[in-house]
Chains A and B, each alone.
Chain A
Amino acid sequence: MIKLSEKIFKDDIGQEPTRNGYGYGLVAAGEENSNVVVLCADLTESTRSHWFAEKFPERFIEMGIGEQSMAAVAAGLGISGKIPFISSYATFSPGRNWEQIRTTIAYNDSNVKIAGHHSGISVGPDGATHQAIEDIATMRAMPNMTVIVPCDAVEAEKATIAAAKIWGPVYLRFTREKTPVFTDKETPFVPGKAEIFYQSKSLPEVLIIGAGPVLHNALLAARDLEEDGIGVIVLNNHTIKPIDERKIIELAKKTNAVVTVEEHNIIGGLGGAVAEVLANHYPIPMEFVGMQDTFGESGEPEELIKKYGMDAKSIKEAVRKVVKRKK
């Protein structure tokens, strides 16, 4: 088993938002490579771009509230040898500027990294206008695009540093709220390589595939399920594209049932990506935990995760449901 935080199931586990990992990662990437530049559309502190801006003011570009221009300016920088990171809320970037990302970044093959912040409904009180639940789908459907969804602040930092080293367009997805930090510095992170985060001692009956902070709920569910006599494997599938087909098929053959967990619409996101792999290579029963094709609303993050069915309880129900479908 790989190394995770010792406090993974403890109440006093460290809490930090994944956007902080982006902020740390930018500074590290900027120190390593002087071609890294950061652009932001009037959300510098909120996207944690301000740490980079303070350290490398000459390489920080304030765009104002102009996400379309931000994408296309970054495309021009990327073509000219820079490694631009563009930062805003995911509903605006890659939401509002989808076409500029398609034409000037992806089709143009410009080396731009797109950081979509405040994704999912855990944004909370701001409400559905600011809760991106479609961004994985819209980015994943674009040729040339890599899509990475880190599960905690530590993985977010690693993903940001890794993105600077990947040639070509990358979409990185971050969240606003503090969430458990359950990986640590030594947990391996290789883009495109899914990692087993939980393996029951008993024979696993279900494979849970998750990405993002809700992966922690999947781990809590896995522990409870094992106590109840249902063995599961939990796979951290941080890279939605290119997806780790081999690993998914290998594990699916062991369990013959899959549950996907994501803070995104169940259409077109991680669940969709996994369903494509299974439909092509190994069709088996599957359940989708995520937003059930509906918009969110205002509320506390925890309340929303519960109401919209992405908490540990809902994941356990999905596992029980898929087990029944196996017979």
Chain B
Amino acid sequence: MEILHEKKLKELEEMANTIRQDIIKMLEQAGSGHSAGPLGMADIFAAFYFYILNHNPKEPNWQGRDRLILSNGHICPVRYAAMARAGYFPVKELKTLRKLGSQLQGHPHRRHLPGVETTSGPLGSGLSQSIGMALAAKLDGRKYRVYCLMSDGEQDCGNTWEAVMFAGKNRLSNITAVIDRNNIQIDGFTEDIMPLEPLRDKYESFGWHVLEVDGHNIEAFIDAINEAKAVFEKPTVIIAHTIPGKGVSFMEFDYLWHGKPPAKEEAKKALNELRTLGGKIKSEHE
């Protein structure tokens, strides 16, 4: 990892904004898909693809790469946008999301898009798959790290806790999990649907090292990732507190935006907000 200086941090923040704009355009074109989750995770994806990951977009199957597993596959627009910006495939392909013949399936598929690591969508099995990759690394004496991004909603799944228990027992310190703690799921707020708190205590009691950060503070998130690397006796989970729909005022905090795309006028308004950072800067088009 290079040194995180002011200029780099600014670049990452700008990249997160670019990714958010890509997400809005992709979803509007597709006419279906999820808005809130992808927007909420744009900062973390910018941090991963443009700073944290040891990877090579031109050689997506390079064996030494870090693995980034997206367990909650439904927020894939943010991954696709970050991958395109990182050079895995042309940015113009983003507009084919969810269309016939596209590499960009509605939920990510390993055989459709190199670099996607694994197929996901049905919730709760990403951490287990990450464990498989982490075990393979240990068996083969490889040094790559496995990052598993999960939603808070999928903490409802039994499979998630089977995996949490296993990783704790086996002290899999080459895994870092990140939970997108945005407090919403399809039917409403997580604490109404199926309360998760105290989430930190749950992971700690299962033998994990737990960190909590503001998921929109890229510097703090990178610090947490570095701390996780320094913990050798247990796996680490970073509970990243995020705002669903982050960056678009009328989507923020509203669970109704979990599973729908913006219509044409809404997309225009959203893009205007993102380009002007919520009106803080004047758009060059005005």
- Chain A residues close to B by CB (< 8 Å): 37, 58-59, 61, 63-64, 66, 68-69, 71-82, 84, 99-100, 103-104, 107-109
Contact = CB atoms under 8 A, between A and B. Distances in A.
Contact of B118 (A37, A75, A82): A75
A98 to B, nearest CB: 11
A153 B213 CA distance: 56
B132 A75 contact: yes
21 contacts: A61-B135, A64-B162, A66-B165, A68-B125, A69-B163, A71-B128, A72-B126, A72-B129, A73-B163, A76-B129, A76-B130, A77-B132, A80-B136, A80-B137, A84-B132, A103-B119, A103-B120, A103-B122, A107-B109, A107-B119, A108-B111
Given A76-B128, A103-B119, A82 B139 contact: yes
A29 B110 CA distance: 28
Contacts of B133: 76-77, 79-80
B159 A100 contact: yes
A66 B120 CA distance: 19
A77 B136 CA distance: 6
Contacts of B134: 76
Interface in B90-121: 109-111, 117-121
A315 B134 CA distance: 50
A63 B166 contact: yes
A68 B162 contact: yes
Contacts of B140: 80-81
Interface string B237-278: 000000000000000000000000000000000000000000
Nearest to B170: A61
Nearest to B166: A69
B131 interface: yes
A109 B111 contact: yes
Interface in B51-79: none
B195 interface: no
A99 B122 contact: yes
B166 A73 contact: yes
Give the most central of B117, B129, B166: most A CB within 10 Å. Answer: B129
B158 interface: yes
Given A58-B139, A81-B140, A104-B125, A74 B109 contact: no
A167 to B, nearest CB: 13
A100 B158 CA distance: 12
B132 A108 contact: no
Main secondary structure of the interface of B (DSSP, over half): helix
B109 A68 contact: no
B162 A80 contact: no
Give the most central of B119, B122, B137, B163: most A CB within 10 Å. Answer: B119
Nearest to B63: A81
Give the most central of A59, A82, A103: most B CB within 10 Å. Answer: A103
Contacts of A72: 125-126, 128-129, 132, 159, 163
A74 B134 CA distance: 11
Main secondary structure of the interface of A (DSSP, over half): helix
Nearest to B133: A76
A71 to B, nearest CB: 8
Contacts of A79: 110, 117-118, 129, 132-133
B128 A73 contact: yes
A78 B110 contact: no
Given A72-B163, A73-B166, A77-B136, A104 B158 contact: no
Contact of B159 (A69, A76, A107): A69
A310 B167 CA distance: 45
Nearest to B71: A72
A104 B166 contact: no
Interface string B128-160: 111111111101100000000000000000110
B122 A37 contact: no
A104 B135 contact: no
A58 B132 CA distance: 14
Contacts of B126: 72
Give the most central of A37, A99, A108, A109: most B CB within 10 Å. Answer: A108
A84 B140 CA distance: 14
A121 B170 CA distance: 37
A72 B128 CA distance: 5
Nearest to A99: B122
Given A68-B158, A107-B119, A73 B132 contact: yes
A226 B133 CA distance: 56
Given A73-B131, A76-B135, A107-B109, 19 more contacts: A63-B162, A66-B159, A66-B166, A68-B128, A68-B159, A69-B128, A69-B163, A72-B132, A73-B128, A75-B132, A76-B134, A77-B135, A77-B136, A79-B110, A79-B118, A100-B122, A100-B125, A103-B120, A108-B119
Given A66-B162, A100-B159, A78 B132 contact: yes
